Each structure stands twice: as C-alpha cells, then as structure tokens.
Amino acid sequence: MKPTVQTGARAVNYATSPLLASKTPPWRSRFMLVVVALAFLVLAGRAVYIQAVGTDFYVKQGEMRYTRTLVLPASRGRILDRNGVVLATSVPAPSVWAIPKDFEADVAQRKALSGLLGMTLQELRERTAGEGEFAWLRRQVDDAVWNEVKALGIKGVHRHGEFKRRYPEGEAAAHVVGFTDVEEAGQEGIELAFQKELQGKPGSRGVVRDRLGRIVEDTGARLEPVNGRDVTLSIDSKVQFFAWQRVRDAVAQHGAKAGSVVVLDAKSGEVLALANYPSFNPNQRQNLSGGQLRNRALTDIFEPGSTMKPFIAAWALESGRVTPQTPIQTAPGSITITGSTIKDAHPHGVLSVAEVIQKSSNVGTVKLAMQMSPREMWELYAGVGFGQKPQLDFPGAVTGKLRPYKTWRPIEQATMSYGYGVSSSLFQLARAYTVFARDGELIPVSMLKRQEPVAGLRVISPKTAIDVREMLRMAAGPGGTAQKAQTIGYSVGGKTGTARKQEGKSYTSNKYRAWFVGLAPVSDPRIVVAVMVDEPSKGVFYGGDVAAPVFSEVVQQTLRMMGVPTDIEVKPQIVFQPGAAEVESF
C-alpha cells in the first residue's frame, strides 16, 4: 500500500512525486556537504580570529567609537601684584562643540545658534557638515551664552569645560602682564616669561560615551591635574594705574604719539610700575595693532640727550679733575670740535660744575668730557648699563647702542657727552640713575617681589653720588630746567632731555622726544622715575614742560602710597579766584 500524508483536505503521495522520483547524483550531495562544512570552518575561524588573535585591534576600534580620554585642564596660576592684588586669573569658561553626524537643527535653530556663537550660517554649515565625530563651534564662551545654546535643544551640540584668562586691571597693566592664547599659553609679558611656572600640568579621565555623546561610565585610572603656581610681581597695582593715567593724559594734552613711565624702588631695585600709552585691553584682543602691543619702555631706544650730562659730571668729580665749585668758562655759548660747532640754548658765561648741570650747558659738559679719554667715557657708560641688555625676567628688553670707544672721533665723543650718538631704552635710563640714588651703586632690577635687600655694583663713590644728587636737585629747582618737576612735601632731583628724532641719516626739524628722569626724596632716595613722551605736537616739546609734570605727579602719589615721610616743609598756600565764594588751602 502506498504511503500518503493527510494535510488538511488534500493528500500528497510522495512516492508519485516527480522531484523524489528523479535520481540525484551522489557527488552533488557530497559537494553541498563540503560547501556547508567550509562555510562553518570560515565562520569558526573568523570567530577565533576576532575573539583570540585580533582582539586588541577590535577592542581598539570599539574604544575609538565609544571611549574617550578626557583632558582635565589644570587651572593656570594667578599673577599678583606685590600686595596680593590679582592682575591675571583663570575662570571657568564653557566651550561649545558638536558631533557633525548627529547634528540636527531646523532653520530657526541654526540662525539662533550662529547668532549666539558669533558666526555666520555658512561657517556653522561647514563645521557641522559630514559624518565627523567632533567639531569646535566656539571656544570659551560665557555661562550665559551656553545656557542660551542649551535652551535651543539642538541634537549633537555639547559643552566642554575649559578656563579663560581674565585681567582685572585692563589697559593699565596690559604691557606688564601680557596675555595668553585660547589654549592658555603665554604670548606676551609675564604670561610668556613665566609660562612654565604658571601653566601647571593637565590631568586625564577615561570615559565611555554613548552615540549621543553622554558619559556612560568611567574607564581606567583618573589622573588629577596639578594647578599652576602663582607669580607675585614687584609691581604695585596702584602705582601702575596712576602712572598709566598720568602718561595717558600727557599724551592727550600734548597731542603726542606715545608715552612711557618707569618707576623703580631705589632700595630694592624692584619695578613698581612699567606703563605705556597707547595700550590695549587684554580681555578683548580683536583688531590690535603693533603700536598698542609694543612695550615702549623696554623696546624703544632713543638718544637720551641731556640726561647723560650728570654721568659726565660724576666721573669728572670721581676722577678728581674738578669739584662741584670748579668754574667752567662757557662763553661765548659755543665750542668748535674738529670743525663742528656745538652751542648752548642760552649763553651763560662762567658756570660752576654744579651750574653746568643746573643750566644744562652743552658747552660746559663737552669741556668736562674732553678732559677724559674715550675709553674712560665708554667704561663709565657701560658701567651704568648702557649698551647692555637688562638682566630682567621679561621678554623684549633691548640692548641699545654704545659703539666701541676705539671708533670714536673727537666730535663723536663730544656729542656723546650730552646724549647724541648713544641710544638706550627708558628702562635702561631709569636703572642707570640708581647709581645716584644708591650712593654710587648700580643695583640689579627685578619684576618679581623681593624679600631681601640686594647688593649693587660700585660705580662711583658715595660722596660723588651725593654731590650729583645736589646738582640734580638744583636742575629741578629755581633756576633749573625742570621746575615743573617739583612736588609738595618731597625734595626731588632730576634731569630733562629733549632731542630731535632721527629719521634715516638726519634729524627732523619738527619731531621731538621729551623725557625726564629723576629721584626722590633727594635726602634719602626711595624711588627713581623716568618719563618719556614721544612727538608732542601742540607747540610745547621741552622735557621740562612735557615730561617733568608727569614725573611730579607720579612721585608725589607714589611716595604717599609707600608711606614715605615728607622731607621738606609744606607751606600753606592760598589760591583765590575772583568772584569765588570760598578759598582753597593746600
């Protein structure tokens, strides 16, 4: 009987099926069996390779897709003034980034996002296009900006915590502090000079992220960041701000191109202020010019003019050639050296050595200088730091120019005695005057706060230094060239300088630099102050009229803030204005 299978209402007779009735060659069955076996072997081999042989590769590929090593930024060290006032600090600043392949936003969201991040729609499209895993949208935004971005609810946009540098003193201390780039690497000033100390060492953290960028779990060890070290400067932020204000006002008042002020502590060699104008706001550095960034007090060199005369007088005294009372014949107000004539601004006749400095006589200074050998003068100038780069923990300080004495011609030696043919920065000039403030010692200077007194290098004797201080007092007093340098309650001494600017190989007839450098109080100097105003253009250009008043204001304010007692009697004065209801006494 033939076998049948009942399936529902219909029966199928397999014995009569044409498919089963056909004869299948044995090799075909064996072939199919081999194919299936080989397929299983391939799959088994692949499984073994993935699970045993190529494990590291596939684990790495998985980690690339889902695990990240997050950098834990170290907080950059603060920059402080000598009293602990913060000049630079780091504050948290979120950065906005995106996963381009996950980025989804409609037209309104894109427009709002580009507006918040300060970018064009085209820039946003370019950064979020493609199948990438990461793209910065904007670095270091304010918390308020990130909160608004987050509120847009755009898929694929995320936050990364970073730090941003803040400079509370703004323009006033910009050239001292400098600034960093977006990665918090120092670019200028103290930020650059002390990059190693300030930067710290970042840490790390391994995490697993899901496809939306969210952290699922931590992996591996966590390395904590090491924050940077604070740097305490010698700068006094109050002195710095006041000096910057005064030179800014002088530049505006005289229609000048620029100006600088340097204030040194005559006892310790610490830099209390280093101010320049024009300046810049280190918190907003878009569209800055080279003129704003230039630290003119350190980088600009000029012929120091009559401010060099006290050094010639000092060496004439030190070498025993003259005394402060030795008469010098300056009539008829001119002197000729190898065919070239040097003149005084005003003829004076016979002057003592002290009066030569008081009246700023070119002729008298030249007569003192020509008694010296070129080598003597060169050693004197080099001894007080001219022609040498200041040993200062600060970038940009220049060397200046002091030619070898063997190349000097007589007329060049003569002009160098009153500051032509030699060049220096304002900072070098201020440091040179510490010789007079420190009783003949040239002291090392520092931008960092010092805890201990420093020893200086002996250049002249204490007696010579005291004699020259008296000459500087006369120069800043009645009958001198800088009466506007006087202050209330403090004796001051100093020397003016006014020189035509050199352009090419000749001197201009209408462009000047005006400066004044001096010390106070004369009886026991505490500070040295140097002021330079570049190209005053409103008819007044002499150092005694342009730079000396800035010196006066800076000295008076600084000594008061330092608590230095007055050393001269303050006489009450009454200022009466007709029609005024009150009088003012000071």
Q: Taking the C-alpha atoms of 442, 448, 450 and 453 in order, what is their torsion angle to the nearest 10 degrees?
A: 0
Do the Cβ atoms of 500 and 542 come closer than 8 Å?
no
Could you count the other beta carbons within 10 Å of the beta carbon of residue 292? 18
* 523 assigned to active site: no
The H or E element spanning position 555 is helix 548-562
Residue 446 to residues 80, 151, 311, 461, 528: CA-CA distances in angstroms? Answer: 15, 50, 23, 24, 14
Give the pair of three-digit tokens for residue 97.
């980034």
Dist CA 24 CA 417 (whole Å): 122
Give the pair of three-digit tokens for residue 3.
């076998």
Dist CA 294 CA 276 (whole Å): 9
Give the pair of three-digit tokens for residue 537.
């253009």
Dist CA 195 CA 228 (whole Å): 9
Do the Cβ atoms of 267 and 526 come closer than 8 Å?
yes
Place of tokens 């970038």: 395
Q: Counting Cβ atoms within 10 Å, is residue 204 exposed (0-12), middle (13-18) or buried (19+)? A: middle
Catalytic residue among 114, 268, 279, 306: 306
Q: Cis (ω within 30 of 0) for the bond into 410?
A: no
Comparing C-alpha atoms, which of 215, 185, 188 is closest to residue 200? Answer: 185
Dist CA 336 CA 339 (whole Å): 6
Comparing C-alpha atoms, which of 242, 216, 190 is closest to residue 76? Answer: 190
Do the Cβ atoms of 547 and 533 come closer than 8 Å?
yes
The H or E element spanning position 170 is none
**Residue positions annotated with a catalytic role:** 306
